[in-house]
Amino acid sequence: MRFLVLDTETSALSPNQGQIIEVAGVAVEFNPTTLQLDIISEFVQFIKPRFEIDEKITRLTGITIEDLLPAHSLLEVQEKWASWLEKNEFTEAVVVGHSIDFDLNFLQHEGWYIPTGGVIDTLELSKLLLPDAQAVNLEFLIRFFDLSTQFSKLDIDGNQLQAHRALFDTRATVYLLLELTRRATQIPLSSGLISLIQQLGLLSFSAYPTALNAELFSVFSDFLKTHAQPEIHIDISGQVRGKTMQETIAVLLVSEAPKVAELWEKALEVHVQQGHVLAAQILGRLEVYVKTWLLFPHKNIKIHVHGQIEQTFLDSLISSSNKDNIETSSSLNPLQKSVLINPEQFISRMGYLAEKSINIGDLVNIAERALDVNAISISSRQAIEQFLTEYDFFLFALTPHWNYGQLFYNKNTFSPRQYRIIEKFHSLIHSVHNLARIIQADTFVTHTILQQHIIQNLSNLLDAIESFSLSVDAIYTFSLRGSNVVISVADTSFSPQQYLNTLLQKNHISSIETLLSAENLNILWKMIGVTIPEHLEIHTYELPSMIHEDVVDLPFFISELCARVEHSARWTVLLSGQSSSMKDLQFLLKKQGISTPSLIAGDDGSLTKIISKMGETSGGIAVLKAADAEYALKVVKTEYIGEIWLLNEPYLRLSDWWKNHSLQTSDAEQFQKHLKQLYTASVCAKIHAKTGKKVHFLRSYNR
């Protein structure tokens, strides 16, 4: 088979805002069955810029304006590209790339010739075939497979090839395709998974096993019976949290594993046949997840999902498989105790607890899934489409009036310009009630448990919204969370003591785990105004942090820090508690010309790319948002981390409940200050618990 592996470097994230500034292609003859790979030819060219190039692009790509000014024009390079493809007879090759849609959007927008043999996205294949990889971006996978040792580091002209440039990434993708093909041959593939891989572009896997091995799942089930954790973690809102995918599947497969395996295979085949690619990909990833765990039992593995839509499908699948097995499996593995984790969540989530909320976005997601799986009648489909239309109009009406992602709604105080929100809110409420009426009266002819689960979720959400009693006469808070709108109304009867008692009794809580010290936990209970039953077992956390109380000169602090980092092979991590400290650090590390290697999230790439680079290079300063610390420090190996500093208290938006509660004390300002200190202590403790590293807290500084 002939593959054209390509990559582009661009001056922006959208072809409407930027242009391709470098393009590279590698023409490859590849036999997926024998894993024989021959590179036929390579192409790489700069393109003369038609717009000004932002200095951030230079930092991200290493491409300077001096590189681009002598380059050929877009039309000249496009002609060279087409001639190169024609000369090597690759005009009908399969196009391959990592997140190839991004490159194709630019290429199509600018009118480049694109071979007609189909498309393979190694990103999608990586999500499917590499559950043992903690990330699937190209930078991480280069290190994961040690790809940089498999190809030449010299460019076409014999010069040193720069990492993360178009030709470097293209060569890496060639050998990533080889590794993905090799991985696929290691896994016993079901017929549905083979069909899915064929849809994703790899076409020569028919020689591998097609039957799903029920014995494989029995072995997996026996393994899980002895390793499943015997306790449940419940957060302050009563939701089960912190359970790993391994634990979730453990519950599913403790009994009747072959039955669940058969369900997965049938569901996968149905979705592949019906063209429901997204659902099929999630099912396929779950199958590969299970089999990879058996192949590599000592590796930390995960299912790669991105965004709410994929997560909804995964949740639906787990719940549908779980339907008949959950009670039996729980009786086989009786829970020894329940643990209420993080009572300090009262600090950040009290506003959520002290109000009644409904996430309209959840209803939108489930409604869209019901349409996608074709699980509904015509009347219900029309009602869902009407609801989705009204939601879009409502969101459009809200958009100009957001204030830091919130809007307080009171029809008596709305200005004339905001009256349109009331009108659209009326229409949205009407469409929700209409949808609830039709769904409850309709009889569904469903074909799979997955469809039944989605419809049940839809009905449950509609019931919740009905009980929420939406009314345009109430006073609401609209909050924008991602692309979802959450509607909240104050619960005037909320009592923290009553809420906590109910939570403890309902979930049979026998012990509490907290990241606060015993002293700070007692302070928190006192501030909330609750008393804890004496029979509860309390597990506190003593944080060995170093706190700098004095005001520090930030330039001097950074200078000293750079001197320490200069001879270290580890990364010093600076966590920005607030956006102002992020900007100050950016100015000092970039504008002042400090030579110490530094990576700033958002300025030098996305968080995922920063994490990947921290694993590739040795030593320097990494600047992250404090809110991203838990994820980043979980992925980056502990041995790569040196000092960890937190600059400024992490941002904490105090809810109305806390503000009103503080006004009942003798000193509201001091009360709120102590509350933020407790929140900071819990953030530092969480980081320490993840890494084992001391967290140094720089409370304040001079610029």
Mean predicted confidence (pLDDT) in 221-225: 47
- Residue 50 DSSP class: S
In the prediction, which pLDDT does 236 show? 84
Cβ–Cβ contacts within 10 Å for residue 258, how many?
16
**pLDDT level of residue 316 (50, 70, 90 thresholds):** low
96, β-bridge pairs: 5, 120
Please say whether the beta carbons of 111 and 78 come within 8 A. yes
Tell me which residue of 460, 246, 455 sits closest to 367, measured CA to CA.
455
Closest CA to 5 of 120, 101, 107: 120
> Which range (192-206, 319-333, 553-567) has the least confidence?
319-333
Q: Look at residue 277 and give its three-state secondary structure.
A: helix
Average pLDDT over residues 208-232: 44
Q: Find the DSSP H helices in 442-565.
A: 449-468, 496-506, 518-528, 554-565
224-227 — which CB contacts under 8 Å span 24+ positions?
224/249, 224/250, 224/253, 224/254, 225/250, 225/254, 225/332, 225/333
Could you tell me the end-to-end alpha-carbon distance of the chain, in angstroms, rounded to an integer? 60
Task: Return the amino acid letter for 686.
Answer: K
d(CA 669, CA 675): 10
Domains of the chain, first to last: 2-186 (3.30.420.10), 214-335 (no CATH), 355-490 (1.10.275), 546-702 (3.40.50.300)
User: Quick check: 216 and 187 in contact, CB under 8 A?
Assistant: no
By three-state DSSP, how is residue 349 classified?
helix
Average pLDDT over residues 463-483: 74
Q: With 0-12 CB in 10 A as exposed, 13-18 as middle and 19+ as buried, what is 193?
A: buried
Smallest Cα–Cα separation from 191: which of 265, 295, 279?
A: 265
Q: How many residues does the structure list for the chain?
A: 703
- Return d(Cα 433, Cα 410) in angstroms, integer: 21
Nearest to 47 by CA among 14, 11, 76, 73: 73
Q: Which helix (H) or strand (E) holds 91?
A: none
CB 448 within 8 A of CB 267: yes
pLDDT tens, position by position, 615-652: 766 778 888 888 888 778 777 778 888 889 888 888 88
Which range is least confidently modeled, 17-26, 46-55, 384-393? Answer: 46-55
pLDDT tens figures, 420-441: 888 888 898 888 888 888 877 7
> Average pLDDT for residues 272-296, to the nearest whole number?
68
- The helix or strand, by DSSP H or E, that contains position 695, with its residue range, turns out to be strand 695-698
Which residue carries 């109304």 as its tokens?
Answer: 489
Q: What is the 8-class DSSP label of residue 650?
A: P
Threshold 0.85, pTM exceeds: no
Q: Which residue from 625, 619, 661 is spatially nearest to 640, judged by alpha carbons?
A: 619
pLDDT (0 to 100) of residue 181: 86
Q: Which residue shows structure tokens 């990364």?
A: 571
pLDDT confidence band for 202 (50 / 70 / 90): low
How many CB atoms are closer than 10 A to CB 582? 23
Measured between alpha carbons, how far is residue 366 from residues 78, 263, 370, 460 in Å? Answer: 44, 22, 6, 10
pLDDT per residue over 52-99, tens digit each?
777 777 777 778 888 888 999 999 999 999 999 999 999 989 899 999
The tokens describing 489, both together, are 């109304």
Judge contact between 56 and 122, C-beta under 8 A: no
Rounded distance, CA 679 to CA 649, Å? 9
